[in-house]
Amino acid sequence: MQREHYHPRIEGFRTFVFERLNADERKAYERLHHVFYYERRNDFWRASAMEKLPALSNATAMLPCGEDLSMVPDCVPGVMEQLQLLTLEIERMPKVFGREFADVEAYPRRSVCSTGTHDMASAPRMVGGGCGAFRTLLLRGARPWRRSARGCACLAV
């Protein structure tokens, strides 16, 4: 961090202080947050990726996979497509805002898919541990670990 510069808090709009701002101040903070975390880093991320990732990809016969979850600059999907990197698709962490579960049939052809990650509860624990949304999904006819039409073994509804 640079001293004497302002760095907005990640998701500061979920804080008590944000709630106390008036509507204009909230909009200003949201815009500053978006510019700082998404727009400002786009060119830097793209240039860094195009400098480093081709060398990494060419150093092995393995198919590289990019962890493109959470807060990613807008250029990430295009860079990954250009370099033909596999995306990481997590069913319980959909990339579409507002969705509880991802649509596994809509995953890109070049992707690695999973129902969860190392820091999420396992599917059996979710069913037995009080995760109502997951239990509801199963009761609606989900068949855990069924292979989708694309051959991806994941939770399919």
Half-sphere exposure of 40 (CA within 13 A, CB side): 9
* Cα 125 to Cα 112: distance, rounded to the nearest angstrom: 23
Conformational region of residue 143, where left means phi above 0, alpha means psi within -120 to 50, and beta covers everything else: beta
Closest CA to 8 of 40, 46, 34: 34
Per-residue confidence in pLDDT tens, the chain, 157 aa: 567 777 788 888 889 999 999 999 999 999 988 888 878 888 888 999 999 999 999 998 988 898 888 778 888 889 999 999 999 998 888 888 788 888 888 888 889 988 878 777 776 666 665 556 666 666 655 544 444 444 444 443 3
With beta carbons less than 8 A apart as the criterion, state whether 38 and 73 touch: yes
Q: What is the pTM of this model?
A: 0.62
